[in-house]
Amino acid sequence: MIVRKAVVNNFNDAKTLVKNTRCNVSVCENLAKKGVIVPIVIEKIDNRAANILKQDAISVGADTAVSENVSRFKQGVSDVVLFATINQIEKLVNKLRLQPFGLKEVSLSLDNVINKKKVFKYKEKILDLSKPVVMGIVNMDPNSFSGDGLIDSDKACRQAVEFEKFGAGIIDIGAESSRPGVKPIDAKTEINRLIPALKKIRKNVKIPISVDTYKYETAKVALAEGADIVNDIFALRRSKEKLAKLIADTKAGVILMHMKGVPKNMQAHPEYKNCTSEVYEFLWEQKEHAMSFGIKAERIAVDPGPGFGKTVKHNIELIKNIDVLSTLGAVVGAVSRKNFVRSLAGEDKVAFIAANFLTVFCGADIIRVHDVKETVNVLKIIETFRGI
């Protein structure tokens, strides 16, 4: 007889573990649901609701960490951490949907955590997120921080075609640098740099094209010329309702990114009380804002914005916890050649590829990169691991 520890990182691991015992197929999935603990943070919950949640969690066999103010029946709000299996969460959802003090909304959110199916749509098509998607960067700004800025539209087109050949699932073309301290350019300059290359790329690649802009004027022209997705570093805060309405009307996809400050000053002593929580709250609010203009939830992806108003420590925290954003939809990770990676490992291409790999391994669905061929090859390892 041998007794050993089992490694279970997710539901599929638990399911495989149970199947290996050759137990009854009809109970296999239910047993697997009991094998994975899912920690869930519920912030700013009414203390009365937290008390009910705690009792209901205990009744299904789960555990909660609550503030002392909850135990002492004090008024106000606090944070709760729930530790429960998928099976326990399913039972808890049914109990909470009839409870007061906002617990019906908590019930819906918990159901979303365990049953959310990620989808990212653009125009009339759907991006397959069953495996990591590589977004290849085509940079039409000669002042790019990464040193790969192009001014020749033919070279840009050749690069995009090569990226598709290497296995990229999206081309992301931009014409304005967002490196720390940079001054913005006007829409006319951006359009003159961007559109000639976009036209040629659209004629020569079949994969979706994302345009990296926050300007309504640029997005309008780009979408008319065949772009499918708007990648907005300001998360629809700059063009107000015009850009949001344009995206809704054209049924384009949109990527909402978190940034603290603006590129000119974003790295001037950024501070957070809880970086992951604040980034999540911002992206949740901006997604709700986008949906209020008619942009469908499945057409919205989120990006925590590593390097945009964050210290090295903040960036590492966000990458480590990037899967937290999965309940908001498709998650984009953009760490390629960022300064914080350089600060950790210097100008080392291997380190850049490793950072891309780790970002996907930690939960990103789409990885925005400069080194497409190498990243595609490395990510095959993740596909193999997930399939076992």
Q: Looking at the annotation, which residues are catalytic?
A: 338, 368
Looking at residue 28, its amino acid is: C
Q: What angle, rounded to 10 degrees, do the helices at 240-250 and 216-224 form?
A: 10
3 CB-contact burial (10 Å; exposed 0-12 / middle 13-18 / buried 19+): exposed
Q: What are phi and psi of 361, to 5 degrees?
A: -60, -35
Q: Which residues contact 42 (CB under 8 A, 6 or more apart)?
A: 50, 53, 79, 80, 81, 82, 106, 109
Q: In 10 A of CB 157, how many CB atoms?
A: 22
Alpha carbon dihedral 184, 185, 191, 194, in 10-degree steps, equals -60
Distance from C-alpha of 306 to C-alpha of 93, rounded to nearest angstrom:
34
Residue 127 is encoded by which pair of tokens? 């991006």
Give start and end residues of each alpha helix (H) in 34-166: 47-59, 68-71, 86-96, 103-115, 153-166
Tell me, rounded to whole angstroms, the distance of Cα 258 from its chain centroid: 10
Q: Evaluate whether 211 touches 231 at the Cβ level (below 8 Å).
A: yes
CA distance 38 to 36: 6
Q: What is the DSSP letter of 170?
A: E
Question: DSSP strand E in 128-242: where?
Answer: 133-139, 170-174, 209-212, 229-232
Report the number of secondary-structure helices (H) and strands (E) in the chain.
Answer: 15, 13
- What backbone phi and psi angles, to 5 degrees, belong to 141? -110, 115
Coil/strand/helix, residue 6: coil
